[in-house]
Amino acid sequence: MKSVIVLVLSMAFFATAADAQKIFSTRNGKISFSAPKDEDVKAVNNEVVSRIADNGQITFSMVIKSFRFKFAEMQEHFNDQYLESSKFPRADFKGNIVNLSDVNFSKDGVYKVTVKGDLTMHGVTKNLTVPGTITISGGKPSVEAQFTALMKDFNVSASSVTDRVTVDIACQYQ
Amino acid sequence: MKNWVKVVLVIGVIGLLAAAGLVYYVYNKPHRDVSKEQGLQLSAQNLYDAFRTNEAQANKLYLDKAIELSGEVADLTTNQDGKTVVNFKTSDPLFVINCTFRDNPGDLKPGQIITFKGICTGYIPDANVVINEGVLVKK
């Protein structure tokens, strides 16, 4: 009888262990963007909340007002006219690693990934496929990726400044 | 010189000066200095409750405002660009007020109660309220 209890308990334990999914997170990830034709148009957000799980789910949430420009006047225009950050305070991305089988979260290394998901910004949701890199170092992941966002895709009328920006993601997780 | 040439020249010069002035203004307008602003006095818990119960209303009240926040330090970190970040406790163990300091606040320890001023940039559900450009007021 005793051995049956031990067996049941140990089965329950292993079932839980197998289900437990590892989630890494940060409240201070970094996302920046720049206009390819005007080097003054660039901004950094160091307060990106991001989570990455070993089941392939990845999310980024950021407040638009946390993007900091070198020039205060540009920051004001960006918030008031282009991204309308009082009306649309946040940008969110929710996606999945397409080639999850190529990534081993418990083994240090550099893994090329493709992430597919939805980016919601300025009231518009758009499906994106973005190539990037996951680096596992000391058991902790960091993510790097770059993609181009077209202003018209997100209903942003900034044509006097730029029609596109290059977005850079660099997040270190705990 | 003919009169109309003079007029065109004067208009041209005025135009150039205006353009130069505009460029100068765009490139030299200073960033907000929160240390010179009067902040809305709140506790970390007040701010969390406001966003949790009515996000739209809290956005109206606090977004872009200077906040003078008091709270208990949950933990300290450094962001990826080397700035000090202090997370303040709320009643929800998974939710904090995340504050990035403009000026290094010096030695702080978890459990300490401090007051600082910063700009509230927004709310991220299930995670934190974001405040940046922080300067220490009292510890």
Q: ipTM value of the model? A: 0.85
pLDDT digits (tens, 9 = 90+) for B114-136: 999 999 999 999 999 999 999 99
Q: What is residue B36's DSSP assignment?
A: G
Q: How far is A11 from chain B (nearest CA, A)?
A: 30
For residue A158, give the CATH number of its domain: 2.40.128.110
Whether A66 and chain B come into contact, CB under 8 Å, resolves to yes
Position A56 in a domain: yes
Quick check: B96 pLDDT over 80?
yes
Position A2 in a domain: no
Position A3 in a domain: no
The rounded distance, in Å, linking the Cα atoms of A40 and A48 is: 22
Whether A172 and chain B come into contact, CB under 8 Å, resolves to yes
Q: Beta A109-121 vs A90-97: how paired, if at all? A: antiparallel
Mean pLDDT of chain A: 92
For B80, which of A64, A72, A172 is closest by C-beta distance?
A172
Quick check: B1 pLDDT over 90?
no
Size of interface A-B (CB pairs under 8 A): 77
Mutation to test the B interface, candidates A41, A50, A66, most B Cβ within 10 Å: A66
Structural domains in chain A (count): 1
The rounded distance, in Å, linking the Cα atoms of B38 and B40 is: 7
Minimal-distance CA residue of chain B relative to A71: B27
Minimal-distance CA residue of chain B relative to A79: B64
For A89, which of B63, B81, B119 is closest by C-beta distance?
B63
Half-sphere exposure of A76 (CA within 13 A, CB side): 10
For B124, which of A30, A46, A49 is closest by C-beta distance?
A49
The rounded distance, in Å, linking the Cα atoms of A74 and A60 is: 24
A72 neighbourhood in chain B, CB within 8 Å? 29-32
Are the CB atoms for B43 and B69 separated by under 8 Å? yes
B62 neighbourhood in chain A, CB within 8 Å? none
Q: What is residue B83's DSSP assignment?
A: -
Minimal-distance CA residue of chain B relative to A77: B26
Nearest to A45 by CA among B27, B83, B106: B83
* Residues of the domain holding A159: 22-172
Position A1 in a domain: no
The rounded distance, in Å, linking the Cα atoms of B80 and B106 is: 18
B93 neighbourhood in chain A, CB within 8 Å? none
Q: What does the pLDDT read at residue A4?
A: 64
Q: What does the pLDDT read at residue A15?
A: 54
Position A13 in a domain: no
DSSP assignment of A49-74 equals EEEEETTSEEEEEEEGGG-EESSHHH
Which positions of chain A have pLDDT values less than 70? 1-19
For A66, which of B29, B127, B130 is closest by C-beta distance?
B130
CA B99 from centre of chain:
10
Whether A39 and chain B come into contact, CB under 8 Å, resolves to no
A44 neighbourhood in chain B, CB within 8 Å? 81
Position A108 in a domain: yes
Q: Provide the percentage of residues in chain B whose pLDDT is more than 90.
A: 81
